[in-house]
Amino acid sequence: MAVSLGMRISGLLVVGAVAVAAAAFTSDGGFTADGRGTIVTAGPSDGTRKLPTGPPSGSPPPVRQSPDGHFGVPAVTSTPGASRGETVSERPSPSSPSPSMSKKLLEVPAWLPPGPDSPDVDGTPDPASVYDLLHSPSECRAALRVIPETPADAEWTLLRGLATACLAVQGQGGDWEQAARDHAALADKADTCKGRAAYTVLGSLLDFHRRHPGAVVRLKPAASGTPGACGYRIAGVDTGGDGEARPGEAIGIELADTYMDHAELLSNVSVSVGGQRVPGVPVLRSESGDRLVLSVVVPVLEPGSVEVAVRYAGTEVRLPAAFSVAAPEVVPEPDMGTGTTVGPVSPLGAVVLSTGDPAEFLTGSPPTVTASRPPQGVLPLGPLPVHPAGPHTPAGLRIR
């Protein structure tokens, strides 16, 4: 049966349509540069096509938005040799540091070293005893209450600044501006061991506040075993420059790094020289800052090197081999065998007032005494003549 040309053309068109439809169902929809479709063959499937849910392997991580509105790629942080299953943490943005990380970076300023504690014998607050109260940061408010509001003393001013800075850095009030003014007013003027320690700590608090204006920290007392602020000791003994002193002479004992009120010290101090306590109360010769010089009299001691000790309120400081006690001066005794001194008894039993030439006596020439004749100026001590009893008529007088 002959097939007409029209039927042949129609058959070709149907075959072409079928081929195009088959390609559409089996390709991935990609096209080449010339616009023709690409035929992709795949293995058996369940007939359902799944879309990928994550980025292809090896591709960069997606861009995420940070809490502050910025976009950035999160950094993967892990320890060396970490397994692939570990959790990935993100580095916080520099513009918004984590609060927990900020606390780790803050270093709490060191607080006051111990004094040692100063005895408050008279019960009146003084800078030395208030320093001891401030040694505990929890007592800063109590210390501020006993400090004068308008201090006339430089050390009181320094302690006021320290107490108010202590409260401010712990978020308990205080006044940073007042603390800064007190610190600036006392630059290089602290002249006691406790004052110098307080000035250093106040400076560190102000520096901490400048670096972390809004930071609040909790101060802690100095750790046990921290060296004290004061090295109380006998700095030396003044004997006049030769290192020797005789009994009865005055010496000066210099005390350094005193940590107590000087008025209380002078009223309750005792001094020993060579193990023998000096009677009486030592005299204050001079004082400057935490140094003072006590004046005492050397007691009667054997010649040689001696130790000096100063005791106050249960604390005693010693200086071994402080100075040497010199032998007392020897006064020559008179030679009675030659009769060369003024005042011997003459052979006649009289006291010699002067012998020989008066000029020799004045110039220190030795007088001489002889037994052959009475020396000049000597009154014989023989018996006086006895007057007979009865009336006596002077010669040349007649009694009627």
Note the pLDDT of residue 67: 45
Most confidently modeled range among 46-55, 295-304, 323-332: 295-304
Neighbours of 139 (CB within 10 A): 15
Note the pLDDT of residue 385: 52
Pick 256 or 27 by higher pLDDT.
Answer: 256
Average pLDDT over residues 157-163: 96
Q: What's the rounded Cα separation, in Å, for the pair 292 and 255?
A: 5
Mean pLDDT of the chain: 73
pLDDT-derived band of residue 113, with 50, 70 and 90 as boundaries?
very high
Pick 72 or 384 by higher pLDDT.
Answer: 384
Which of 220, 263, 226 minimizes the C-alpha distance to 127? Answer: 263
Average pLDDT over residues 197-225: 94
pLDDT at position 214 over 60:
yes
Q: Which residues, at least 6 apart from 371, have a Cβ–Cβ distance to it below 8 Å? A: 347
pLDDT at position 130 over 80:
yes
Note the pLDDT of residue 347: 42
Note the pLDDT of residue 342: 46
Note the pLDDT of residue 280: 87
Q: What's the rounded Cα separation, in Å, for the pair 296 and 57?
A: 94
Note the pLDDT of residue 16: 57
> pTM for the complete prediction?
0.57
- pLDDT tens per residue, range 23-43: 444 444 443 334 333 333 333
Q: What's the rounded Cα separation, in Å, for the pair 335 and 344?
A: 10
Among 170-179, 183-192, 246-255, 272-281, which is the least confidently predicted range? 183-192
Note the pLDDT of residue 70: 41
Q: What's the rounded Cα separation, in Å, for the pair 145 and 331?
A: 65
pLDDT-derived band of residue 106, with 50, 70 and 90 as boundaries?
confident
Q: How far is CA 326 from the centre of its chain?
A: 40
What secondary structure letter does DSSP report for 57? T
Note the pLDDT of residue 322: 96
Pick 159 or 336 by higher pLDDT.
Answer: 159
Which three-class secondary structure string do you get for 262-308? HHHHHHHEEEEECCEECCCCCEEEEEECCEEEEEEECCCCCCEEEEE
Pick 204 or 75 by higher pLDDT.
Answer: 204
pLDDT at position 396 over 60:
no
Neighbours of 305 (CB within 10 A): 12
